[in-house]
Every structure is written in C-alpha cells, then in structure tokens.
Structure 1
C-alpha cells in the first residue's frame, strides 16, 4: 500500500490567545475557510492586500492525539474547480490574518469576526516553547480543541 501522506507537509503549530495586536504587522489578508461537512477537507479562499485571490483544497490528518501536529496536503484550484467544490455543505470561518515580522520571528495572528486574536507560531522541525516577549499572551490554546479552525467554524 502506498503512503497516504507521501505529499503532505507536517505543521507543528502553537496557538495563543492575545490581548492585542502587536506592532510590526507586515501584511494582512482576508481568509474564508469552509470545512466540508463529514470530511477532513477544507476549502480556503485567501484575498491578498493587492487583490490577488488564491483558492485551495486542503486535507488535514492528525499525527498526534492533539491538534498541534498535523500533516497537510494542499491543491490549488482554478475558478471552475472552486465553483464545483464550494457548493458542498460546509461550516465557514472568516478571519483576517496579520503577519508580524519582528526580532527574527514570523508570527501569523488571526483576527476573528468577534475581534478575538489568535497567534500561530510554526515550529517547523524544531518543537519549542519559546514565545516572543512582545506577544501579549492571555492563554496558550495549542492543545485546546475549541480553538481549532474546524471547531470555530459555523
């Protein structure tokens, strides 16, 4: 049997609730995620600041018991593919993603429709517990299922 994760990229992300958006935002984009009902599939539409629209289909497989280590495979979609797939039943999550580049860190901060701020730090291949001191962390929600995109979607 072939390896079902052969083309997947492993994400090791930590997530933190923040009290405020820090200084150093380098870019902002609008994201709409559609979690396809009954699957591990996510449709994502990203609107960049310059008006560029990127659409993709993602497949996520957990590698550990919690949501902190996930194998992801993404396919970029054209308009026709998007039109077919976006008709599937799904729960939706809308957010504004701010990228903060500061002091050697690159942190994605999602601003949800209710104003909640969730920072994501990608550990890549080196798991860490370090957090930049300029992030005003309220709580670590890395392993809290309630703060995963699939759970936040409505």
Structure 2
C-alpha cells in the first residue's frame, strides 16, 4: 500500500550536534515528548516561557532510509484527551528548545538533560541551505536514528 501524504506536512530536517547555542535566540520552550511503546506515535507537551501549554499527538514517518525527509501529522489535544493518552506506556524525553533566527535562517537547538546540544534545520520545500559558519557543528547526525527523538528517549532509558 502506498503512503498517502494528503494530511501530512513534509519536512526536510537536518540534525547537527553543536558545541553551543548560537546568538539569535528569539524564545525558549520546554518540551516533554512521550514515545508510545509499540507505535510510531508521540505525545508532545510544549510549555512556553509565557506559561502557554500546547499538547498534541503526532507521528513522523521517514520517507526513505537515511533521508532527512519526514511526513508529519499532528492532532491537538484537550486536557481530557491528554490525560487519557498520557497513561499509555512510553519512553520520555525532556528538552529545552532554543528557537534561533539569524541571517534569515530559522533553526531549533535542543538542549538535552545531559547538556548535549542538537541543532535542527528544516529546509522546507527548497534545497538544503548551507550550514551557516556561525553554527559550531561537531557532527552531522541527520541519518543516525540514535539522534532522533525516539532514539534519544530509548538511549536515555526514560520510561514512565
């Protein structure tokens, strides 16, 4: 059966381990992801510095081996739906997301609990933008499943 992308947003994400958060942070949010055991589903809670909370059920499907292209779908949840789905077994990942805009480039830099910094650039529908010289890259981990959210949650052994 062919994968229909009718209701999905296609993202072209590249991920890089970096040494520091670059200048240009516009806002910071706190994210808790729960990767539901036995599925490709993720519950996400995003808390903004202003106290706003957004909760959603999402799915990301890689569109090829080692590719940066993923199909994303999301459903926004109310409190009752969140409470119900949060009872499902899953692996949890906590991170602080630094939203950076600099020189016309938007990116997210996730700060993990152990201090690791993971930058993500979404190229949208266009060709990949060059990695900016001001991003202090340690390694390109785009094709490494260990550096996806689900991979990080598994590696950290965070179950709840």
Specify if TM > 0.5.
yes
Q: Following TM superposition, by how much is the alpha carbon of 1:24 offset from its aligned partner in structure 2, in angstroms?
A: 1.3
**Structure 2 Cα separation of the partners of residues 119 and 70 of structure 1:** 17
CA gap 1:67/1:81 in 2 versus in 1, 3 angstroms: farther
Contact preservation (8 Å) 2:123, 2:129: no
Contact preservation (8 Å) 2:141, 2:147: yes
Contact preservation (8 Å) 1:37, 1:90: yes
**Structure 2 Cα separation of the partners of residues 4 and 37 of structure 1:** 24
Tell me the SS of whatever aligns to 1:146: helix
Q: Deviations over 1:7-28 (max 9, x none)?
A: 0001110000001111111100
Match of 1:135 in 2: 135
Q: Deviations over 1:56-104 (max 9, x none)?
A: 0002222111252110100000000000000000000000000111111
Match of 1:28 in 2: 28
Deviates more, 1:46-55 or 1:122-131: 122-131
Match of 2:69 in 1: 69
Tell me the SS of whatever aligns to 1:75: strand
Match of 2:88 in 1: 88
Aligned length: 154
Q: Following TM superposition, by how much is the alpha carbon of 1:4 offset from its aligned partner in structure 2, in angstroms?
A: 4.0
Deviates more, 1:143-152 or 1:3-12: 3-12
Segments of 5+ residues of structure 1 without an aligned counterpart are none
CA RMSD of aligned residues (A): 1.5
